[in-house]
Structure 1
Amino acid sequence: MTAAAPPLPQAAAGLLAGAPPRLTAHLGLVHEVAGTILHWCAGYGVPVDREAVLFGAATHDIGKTVHREELSAPGSLHERAGYELLLARGVPERLARFARTHGSWAEPGTTVEDLLVSLADKAWKDSRVRDLEDRVVARPARAAGREVWEVFLALDDLLAGIGADAPRRLAVQAARPVD
């Protein structure tokens, strides 16, 4: 028997009605990891729009409903398509933007929320990206008045714990059909 994918929040689930099961499983898993990362951030007093991060994690790849080839192959066409799709469905830009920004954390104007959605999208499968992690660490270190290295070690521990469960998450996603 296949393990259940975490449920999506109602607002995201409504937008993803009819989406491929593998995509909804992926989004549920990234949403789950984003919640764990947000809990960690709260310990540092980082001001974060929690609702935005959770919505962004749950919808960041919605453009893959348009570019289905990117469900099983690399590509970035889904990013702009997802952003436009969300805007067309009445989602405010402050929430729709994650579909566009989750793969471009180094761009000017990137918010802590953008960084956290990007981090969750990497961490769920135990993918580590040093540049992204360095950017994430800078915010809590400033907010808490702590040394960057100290916060990096704490983030490293968090991501190691998230990564330890990656095989289960990958199995949950892989057990769902692409279409």
Structure 2
Amino acid sequence: MTPSDSLLRALYAPADPPLRPLPSPVAELLRSLGAPPRLAAHLRAVHDVAVHVVDWLEQHVPGLDVNRAAVLFGAATHDIGKTVHVAELSGPGSAHEEAGRELLLAHGFSPALARFAGTHASWTAPGVTVEDLLVSTADKVWKNKRVPELEDLVVTRLTQASGRERWEEYLALDDLLGGIGDGADHRLAFQAAFPVSA
């Protein structure tokens, strides 16, 4: 399938403020699937936020063992199942979660990476990793949505790794997420500039 001009712009066009491009394997997969341009724009925005979060973590809590590449891949692909369930781009639904995991597995990605498509909305499930929590956080805060239950779980991981007081980690995370949230209008406008249909 030939990718549309709109999809190519969503993947590669400059944004204001700038958004990093998606990892090449993800961009290539979206192009080969003829993904909806709005989905590509959304994944790009969430991926960019995840980069900010991971960069901050590496400076703020160097003792926290985080698989950076996994978080960034997860953020870049968490909603890829919406290439199958396109109606969920503009309406509610969770069918895209398992569909996304299966799609990534079918395209040769490991279960450890494909899992994010299925776990990004289930941060209280057993066995949730810090990487899962970070992908879920990026998927919320990109549009300035704050989820106290999710953020509390992240604060717990930060406190365990840093040895600092819980309130200190709460304030630090709140400051980071508040700053990211300040750019939400630009990210939302970028996403809305692209059509839902491929």
With structure 1 as the length reference, what TM-score do the two structures score? 0.97
Percent identity, aligned pairs only, is: 63
Tell me how far apart the structure 1 counterparts of residues 22 and 56 of structure 2 sit (CA, whole Å): 21
1:30 and 2:69 aligned:
no
Q: CA deviation at 1:3?
A: 5.9
Tell me how far apart the structure 2 counterparts of residues 116 and 31 of structure 1 sit (CA, whole Å): 11
Q: What is the match of residue 44 of structure 1?
A: 61
Tell me how far apart the structure 1 counterparts of residues 29 and 152 of structure 2 sit (CA, whole Å): 33
Gap regions ≥5 residues in structure 1 = none
Q: CA deviation at 1:140?
A: 1.4
With structure 2 as the length reference, what TM-score do the two structures score? 0.88
**1:102·1:114 contact (CA, 8 Å) conserved in 2?**
yes
**1:6·1:25 contact (CA, 8 Å) conserved in 2?**
no
Q: CA deviation at 1:120?
A: 0.1
Q: Secondary structure at the match of 1:16?
A: helix
Gap regions ≥5 residues in structure 2 = 1-12
Matches within 5 A, 1:50-129: 50-129=68-147
Q: CA deviation at 1:6?
A: 3.8
Q: CA deviation at 1:47?
A: 0.7
Q: What is the match of residue 8 of structure 1?
A: 22
Tell me how far apart the structure 1 counterparts of residues 137 and 30 of structure 2 sit (CA, whole Å): 22
Tell me how far apart the structure 1 counterparts of residues 53 and 76 of structure 2 sit (CA, whole Å): 14
Q: Secondary structure at the match of 1:104?
A: coil
**1:83·1:99 contact (CA, 8 Å) conserved in 2?**
yes
- Aligned length, in residue pairs: 178
1:168 and 2:186 aligned:
yes
**1:98·1:114 contact (CA, 8 Å) conserved in 2?**
yes
Q: Secondary structure at the match of 1:149?
A: helix
1:136 and 2:136 aligned:
no
Tell me how far apart the structure 2 counterparts of residues 27 and 138 of structure 1 sit (CA, whole Å): 27
**1:126 maps to amino acid:** N
Tell me how far apart the structure 2 counterparts of residues 147 and 76 of structure 1 sit (CA, whole Å): 36
Task: Report the RMSD for the aligned CA atoms in angstroms.
Answer: 1.1
**1:23·1:178 contact (CA, 8 Å) conserved in 2?**
yes
Tell me how far apart the structure 2 counterparts of residues 94 and 3 of structure 1 sit (CA, whole Å): 31
**1:3·1:172 contact (CA, 8 Å) conserved in 2?**
no
Q: Deviations over 1:115-140 (max 9, x none)?
A: 00000000000000000000011111
**1:62·1:99 contact (CA, 8 Å) conserved in 2?**
yes
